[in-house]
Structure formats: C-alpha cells, structure tokens
Amino acid sequence: MEKDKLDPWGTSSIKDYSRLQSEFGIQPVGPLLTRFKKPSPHLSRGIDFGQRDLARVIDAVDGNKPYAVMSGIKPDGVFHLGNKMTADDMIYFQSLSKKSTVFYAIADVEAYADNGLSFNESSKTALRNVADILALGLDPDQAVVYKQSEEMRVMRLATIFSRGVTNNMLKAIYGERQIGLYMSALVQAGDILMPQLPDFGGPKPVLVPVGADQDPHIRLTRDLAGRYGSEFGFLPPSAIYHRLELSLTGGQKMSKRVPESGFTLDDTPAEAAKRVKVAFTGGRDTVEEQRRLGGRADICPVYDLYRFHFAKDDEHVERVYYECTEGIRLCGECKQEAIGLVKTFLEQHHKKREAMMGDAKELLAKSRSYLSSTGKE
Amino acid sequence: MEKDKLDPWGTSSIKDYSRLQSEFGIQPVGPLLTRFKKPSPHLSRGIDFGQRDLARVIDAVDGNKPYAVMSGIKPDGVFHLGNKMTADDMIYFQSLSKKSTVFYAIADVEAYADNGLSFNESSKTALRNVADILALGLDPDQAVVYKQSEEMRVMRLATIFSRGVTNNMLKAIYGERQIGLYMSALVQAGDILMPQLPDFGGPKPVLVPVGADQDPHIRLTRDLAGRYGSEFGFLPPSAIYHRLELSLTGGQKMSKRVPESGFTLDDTPAEAAKRVKVAFTGGRDTVEEQRRLGGRADICPVYDLYRFHFAKDDEHVERVYYECTEGIRLCGECKQEAIGLVKTFLEQHHKKREAMMGDAKELLAKSRSYLSSTGKE
C-alpha cells in the first residue's frame, strides 16, 4: 500500500485516516467528544476526525478564557465546498464562547501573485466571501477580517520566521519546493500566530480548522511557535482536521483546482444540480446487483454531499447510509433527493448572502479601523 | 588565480575590477565621464568604476525627465564608511536635477529579524541615520524615506516576485543559501522597483548606487524587472558600482561585520583616530627601504581614507599618492595627516548631524504622510 501523502499544494491521497495518527502525530477527536455539550455535525458524524491540542481550546471555553479561531480564503472568485467545510468549523468553534475571536484572512496578495487578480477585483470577491461566512452563521461581533495587502504584522512575522527556518526544515515538511511556496507557508504561519501578538492581547489558544492535507502548515507553525516561544510567548496553535470530501468525478479528493470535482456557493442551483446529476456514485453495475449487494456509500461522493453538508440531521445521514448499503435506495432517486437539498440550500444561501452584503461591508470597515488603531505607539 | 566572487552576504574578494566587466557584464564608467559637467570625487577618482544602464539616468538628467535614486540602510546602530560611500553617490546623483527623487529604505524588519532590534530601537537609530544623510548633503525636498515595517508595497512586490523566480535562478545568482537570505533578496528587489509603481508616477529610470559586492541583487532585480515588464512596465534599474574600501586591518574589504576594519560616523574622533593609528599600511619594512622603493599606496587602507573620503580635493589625493609611491612621505606622518582630516570631518559631521535632527524628524513625518496618502483608492 502506498504511503499517505499530505500535500497542501497538490492532490493528497488519504486512504487511512487512522494512520495519520501514527505517522504525523495527529490525535483522534473521539476521546474529547464528551466535552462538547452540543457537538457540531462535523464532530458527531466523524468528519472532524483529528486534532492537535484541541483540549487547550475546550479548556478556554470551559474556563471562560479568551481564544481565537483562525482561518482565511484566497479571494480568487469562488467559495467552494471545501471553504464551506472550514467555515462551518470556524463558526461552530466561535459559537462556543463569548470570549472567542475569529481572525479571517483575505489572502489578496497571494491571489494577486498566483492568479493575477488586482486588489480591486479581490476586494469585490472578498466582500462576497465575507457575506458568505456571515450567511453561514459567523457572528460579526466576535470577528476580525483583514486583507494580507494591508496587514504588515503578518509580513513582519513571515520575515522573522524566514530567518529562523532552514531549507532542510522546510524540505523535511514540504519536500523540495519553489521558494514562492515556502514563502507562502511562512506567511500562513504569520497569519496563524498573529492573534497571539501583544496588539491582540498576547498569547492565547488559537484553533485552526483545516483539511487533513493542510497539516504540513500546522506542523511548521507549531515548530515556529516553539522556536519563537521565548521571544513572543507563543502557544503552539491547536488544529482540528476534517476529512477530505470525495470528488464528484470519482477521483480522490474534491478540489478547487478541478471545478468538475464539486461546486461552489456561487454556482446557480441549476449548475450545481447538473454536476450532481452526472456525478460518480458508489452504485453497482446493474439494479439487480445493487438490490442484492447494496451500494458502496463509503466511496460515493453523493453520499458525502449528505454527510458533509446537506442532510437535515444526523438521523438523515444514517438513514441514507443504511438504505444505500442495504440496496433499498438506488442511485437515481438518491441523486434526485440530493439535488433537491442542494438546490434549496443554494437558493436560501444566495438570499441570505444578498441580505448580508451590508453587514459584510460593515465588518470589513470595522475590522480595518480596529486593526489600524491597535498596537500603534 | 582564483575567480572573483561577488557575495553580498560575505566577504567578497575583488582583485581585478576590469574582469567584472567580462564576467558579470558590469560596464566601465569611463566612456560616460564626459557627460558629467562636474563629476563627483567618486567619478573623477575612479572609485565609481562600473555601471549598468547609467546612460539612461544621464539622459533623464539632460532631458529634464523624472528619475529616482534608490538606497537604504539597516538601522542596526551604525553608519559606517561603506554607508557613507553609498550615501555620497546617492546625494551626488540627486543633486544633478530638480526632477530626481531619492527613495531611502530603513530596513527595520531585517534589523529585527537579523539583529533582534525592536521597531522602537530601530526608529531611534533610523532618525539618527536620516540626520546622517542630511548632514552629508541630502536634499529633503526631493527625498522619500520609508520604513520596511510600514511599507506594504515592497512586501507585495516581494510576494509577487517569489512566484516568478525559481530556486535554480536564485541558486545561479547567489549559490545555495538559506531561504531567509533569498527572501531578503526579493524584498530588496521590491525596494528597488517600488519607485516605478503607478503610485509614484510609473516607470522611470532608477539608479542604485552600490558596492561591487551587491551586484547579485542588481542582476536579480534587473531580471525580475524584465519578467514583470509587460505587467508593470518596469525599466531595468540602473546601477553605479563603487570599489570596496580596504580594511584598516589589512584584510580584503572593509566590512560592518568586522568593526576593526573601519570606523563609523558614530565613533568619537578619538576612537576613529585610534583605529587609524594602528592601521595596516602599504609601507615597507624599513625607512631606508621605503625611501628607496616608495610605499605601496595601492594596497594601503590609509591611502584609501584619503582617496575615498577625506582628501581636500583630487589634487590632494594625487599628491599623497605621488609622495607615498616616491618614498617622499612615510607612514607615520601620512597617518598623522589622515587622523587630522578624520577628526575634523567627524567633529563637523557630529555638529551638523545634531543640527539636522529636527529636519530628519520632519522628513520622516512628511514621507510617512505622503506614502500613506499615495495610491489609496
């Protein structure tokens, strides 16, 4: 069996999530589940499968102590299902306490460097992306949104870190890469550690919700937090890892880089429906066979749509799984139901997002004035 | 014979300046000398020995067109003789036209990353360094001083460039280096190309006065200017190269990293005098021998003090050279005269600098408000 590979810039293949524990030191979420009064769907459905130092964040929740949740987006025009996964986690962990603060980075410098998007274009997309997360449930009163192009603190940290890492350390984590990717990794480390700067109240637990493929960034940042611990007092950031969703085309992983592999929150309900309609499934070759052997939900991206996003509740997920694997439910009807859920979700989301545009503008303006005022001598 | 090595981060050895032409493509200054109405001491004394695209800058002077002169300093506490060399060139080329603008970078992020200096400490040193260049003759009405820690445009450019360079390209220019040095090279490229951004009036000739050892940065930046030429319209920056001063200890090159190799504009006249007193010279073993064979001015750092900085005029330099190499002047008396000149210079410089502290503060404040206003939508 091939070794699992975690590549934040490629297509990761993760066949056995439990092996991530022994190989990379990611801890299981299971033993901590009892500490959540009301676990999120990601937790109760085993989508969030792994963690590092998550207990530190739960302790902060229980002790009514400040903590941060850090995430971000590259405003390259789409908010895809993977972004939604991370946003769902971010919003859930924000909601656990009045003492939490979400730090949300708009990676417009990277969008410019990688995609040639001007800051003006990015600005428009960023506004819509912020409306996206507000529509998904972000509390704007406990959130700071910043643009990389305006946040010198992140760049300063990246520069400092660039002196502390060696090429060998980066190679060990990422393999041999071009300098631009290394630099973007250091900038992300700056993003993750910024909430612990004195300007923001100093050292505190910081949770980063990520896909399993992003673990190399977490390892690098935890290493840097240690190296600069005596200087800045950084705590190593905590992380929670979600499973990677299966591609609608039947490949390994849903990816922004392969549009047909999923859809985005910007797609029209009709466009999304079309993608689901032609999706790969875990169905058998013939109806007879499927009735007899049952479908293979575990390799089915349509089942993942239910489980990861659109099922009404946990019971609904279980029912779909049961009906599929017992051969009660066939792929055609299953897709029809999924399409209905996806359409309803997108219609509602588009309405909510439209209604949130004003709030998004306000959150960006409020954040900007807060960020430019804090830490100024 | 060993190949000449140009290492901006080490101790470069340059035995034959004319070979820099064939090996690295640096052009001689000589053929352009007639185009200067009043050549600077650096030009007339052959200290500025090489150039790239200098004609483009002279054309701008003659055509009364805008151009920039770009330089900077790491505010790590000292303004040494090498900084003075670069400042002298910068000030001379500023003085040639009312259409010139000096861009002066205070590399406080690097000072923090490399030397652990807080931005507050850097701020104090930076103020004194700006007073230094004002005392040396900078015209504050045609100058913009910025701190790296506040100038996001440079960081944006560095990020963009990091995507355009390959590791092989960097290795070819600098050899195998740690990522921190590569990153600092990209930041310097950002410094050099910033004056050509639309915020500052768009593409224009930019002259960078440097020591010969800094040529790798110039080559990288010219390469990047080409790569991003169609996007930004960058002209490749021009450069003028000064010779490296001999170390007072008799080693190759005067260097900030080896304090005994020179002195700084912050040293007291007595401290500087002491360094000169014990300096290595090009003298012979005995007085008799020196009278007979003459001194070796070409390998003498004390002669370099006259030639590079402290002689009254060109005639004075020639006289010292003649008297030395003819055995008329002995090292003791030569050092005494040099010490007198150094002391007078430092006493006057300290007075002037003290008087310029207010102007320095004003220039920093004026620059800051200009930089934060330009280019804002």
| Domain residue extents for chain B | 17-245, 259-352
User: What per-residue string of b and e applies to B84-118 under the rule 16 or more CB within 10 Å gives b?
Assistant: bbbbbbbbbbbbbbeebbbbbbbbbbbbbbbeebe
A160 vs B112: CB contact, 8 Å cut-off? yes
CA A71 centroid distance within chain? 7
Rounded Cα distance between B200 and B202, Å, is 6
- Do the domains at B17-245 and B259-352 have one common CATH topology? no
- Local structure of A151: helix, strand or coil: coil
Distance from CA of B158 to the nearest CA of A (A): 10
Q: Which two tokens stand for residue B288?
A: 């008799």
Q: Cα angle at B363 between B362 and B368, to 5 degrees? A: 100
The average confidence (pLDDT) of chain A is 92
Q: Which two tokens stand for residue A45?
A: 């459905």
A109 vs B155: CB contact, 8 Å cut-off? yes
- Nearest alpha carbon to residue A219 among A165, A168, A173: A173
B150 vs A155: CB contact, 8 Å cut-off? no
Instruction: Give residue B286's pLDDT.
Output: 95
Distance from CA of A149 to the nearest CA of B (A): 7
Distance from CA of B256 to the nearest CA of A (A): 20
Q: Which amino acid is at A86?
A: T
- Tell me what the mean pLDDT of segment B60-80 comes to: 93
Distance from CA of A254 to the nearest CA of B (A): 25
A113 vs B159: CB contact, 8 Å cut-off? yes
Considering only the top CATH level, what class is B17-245?
alpha beta
Instruction: Give residue A23's pLDDT.
Output: 76
User: With contacts defined as CB-CB under 8 Å, which chain A residues touch B74?
Assistant: none
The DSSP symbol for A80 reads B
Q: pLDDT band for position A4 (50/70/90)?
A: low
Q: Are A195 and A204 in contact (CB under 8 A)?
A: yes
Instruction: Give residue B77's pLDDT.
Output: 76
Mutation to test the A interface, candidates B110, B146, B173, B179, most A Cβ within 10 Å: B179
- What are the Cα distances from residue A68, in Å, to A41, A61, A229, A308? 21, 11, 18, 24
Instruction: Give residue A246's pLDDT.
Output: 93
Please state the CATH superfamily assignment of the domain spanning residues A259-352 in this structure.
Answer: Tyrosyl-Transfer RNA Synthetase (1.10.240.10)
Q: pLDDT band for position B221 (50/70/90)?
A: very high
B162 vs A150: CB contact, 8 Å cut-off? no
B183 vs A179: CB contact, 8 Å cut-off? yes
Instruction: Give residue A10's pLDDT.
Output: 64
Q: pLDDT band for position A120 (50/70/90)?
A: confident
CA B219 centroid distance within chain? 16
Q: Are B238 and B54 in contact (CB under 8 A)?
A: yes
Rounded Cα distance between A247 and A162, Å, is 36
Query: Which residues on chain B place their C-beta less than 8 Å from a C-beta of chain A?
Result: 109-110, 112-114, 120, 149-150, 152, 155-156, 158-160, 162-167, 170, 176, 178-180, 182-184, 186-187, 377
Instruction: Give residue B15's pLDDT.
Output: 67
Q: Shortest CB distance from B179 goes to which of A112, A150, A165? A: A165
- Tell me what the mean pLDDT of segment A280-295 comes to: 96
Distance from CA of B109 to the nearest CA of A (A): 6
Q: pLDDT band for position B376 (50/70/90)?
A: low
- Tell me what the mean pLDDT of segment B278-304 comes to: 96
Q: Shortest CB distance from B183 goes to which of A120, A159, A166? A: A159
Kind and range of the H or E run holding A103: strand A100-106
Q: What residues are paired with B242 via a beta bridge?
A: B48, B211
Distance from CA of A183 to the nearest CA of B (A): 7
Rounded Cα distance between A81 and A74, Å, is 14
Q: CA end-to-end span of chain A, whole Å?
A: 57
Instruction: Give residue B377's pLDDT.
Output: 43
Q: Which residue has the higher pLDDT, A78 or B46?
A: B46
- Tell me what the mean pLDDT of segment B342-361 comes to: 98
The string of pLDDT tens digits covering residues B96-136 is: 999 999 999 999 888 887 787 888 888 889 999 999 999 99
Q: Inter-axis angle of helices B152-164 and A179-193, to 10 degrees?
A: 140
ipTM summary value: 0.84
Q: Inter-axis angle of helices B152-164 and B179-193, to 10 degrees?
A: 120
- What are the Cα distances from residue B238, in Å, to B56, B157, B204? 7, 19, 10
Q: Shortest CB distance from A166 goes to which of B159, B163, B178? A: B178
Whether the per-residue pLDDT at A200 is higher than 80: the answer is: yes
Rounded Cα distance between B145 and B105, Å, is 6
B162 vs A180: CB contact, 8 Å cut-off? yes
Q: Are A110 and A71 in contact (CB under 8 A)?
A: no
Q: Shortest CB distance from A152 goes to which of B150, B164, B183? A: B150
- Local structure of A302: helix, strand or coil: helix
B156 vs A182: CB contact, 8 Å cut-off? no
Q: pLDDT band for position B212 (50/70/90)?
A: confident
Q: pLDDT band for position A5 (50/70/90)?
A: low
User: With contacts defined as CB-CB under 8 Å, which chain A residues touch B176?
Assistant: 167
- Tell me what the mean pLDDT of segment A4-26 comes to: 71
Whether the per-residue pLDDT at A15 is higher than 70: the answer is: no
Query: Which residues on chain A place their C-beta less than 8 Å from a C-beta of chain B?
Result: 109-110, 112-114, 120, 149-150, 152, 155-156, 158-160, 162-167, 170, 176, 178-180, 182-184, 186-187, 377
User: With contacts defined as CB-CB under 8 Å, which chain B residues touch A183?
Assistant: 158-159, 162, 179, 183, 186
Whether the per-residue pLDDT at B342 is higher than 70: the answer is: yes
- Tell me what the mean pLDDT of segment A257-278 comes to: 94
Q: Which residue has the higher pLDDT, A38 or B5?
A: A38
- Tell me what the mean pLDDT of segment B156-172 comes to: 91
Distance from CA of B138 to the nearest CA of A (A): 28
Residue partners of A21: CB distance under 8 A and separation at least 6: A27, A28, A50
Q: Is the dihedral of CA B277, B283, B285, B290 positive or negative?
A: negative
CB contacts < 8 A (A, B): 86
DSSP B302-355: HHHHIIIII-SSHHHHHHHHHHHHTT-S-HHHHHHHHHHHHHHHHHHHHHHHHH
Radius of gyration from C-alpha coordinates of chain B = 21
User: With contacts defined as CB-CB under 8 Å, which chain B residues touch A377?
Assistant: 120
Q: Inter-axis angle of helices B215-227 and B17-24, to 10 degrees?
A: 20
Q: Which two tokens stand for residue A71?
A: 């995430």
DSSP B96-131: T-TTEEEEEEE-HHHHHHHH---HHHHHHHHHHHHH
A184 vs B165: CB contact, 8 Å cut-off? no
User: With contacts defined as CB-CB under 8 Å, which chain A residues touch B164?
Assistant: 180
- Tell me what the mean pLDDT of segment B249-277 comes to: 91
Tracing tokens 């007198």 back to the chain, one arrives at: B340
The DSSP symbol for B253 reads S
- Local structure of B16: helix, strand or coil: coil
Please state the CATH superfamily assignment of the domain spanning residues A19-245 in this structure.
Answer: HUPs (3.40.50.620)
Rounded Cα distance between B274 and B218, Å, is 36
- Local structure of A65: helix, strand or coil: coil
DSSP B128-167: HHHHHHHHHT--GGGEEEEEGGG-HHHHHHHHHHHHH--H
Whether the per-residue pLDDT at B61 is higher than 60: the answer is: yes
A183 vs B159: CB contact, 8 Å cut-off? yes
Instruction: Give residue B5's pLDDT.
Output: 66
- Nearest alpha carbon to residue A306 among A39, A47, A93: A47
Whether the per-residue pLDDT at B12 is higher than 80: the answer is: no
Distance from CA of B353 to the nearest CA of A (A): 26
Instruction: Give residue B1's pLDDT.
Output: 41
Residue partners of A167: CB distance under 8 A and separation at least 6: B176, B178, B179
Q: Are B279 and B249 in contact (CB under 8 A)?
A: yes
B179 φ/ψ angles, rounded to the nearest 5 degrees: -60, -30
The string of pLDDT tens digits covering residues A38-67 is: 999 999 999 999 999 999 999 999 999 999
Q: pLDDT band for position B18 (50/70/90)?
A: confident
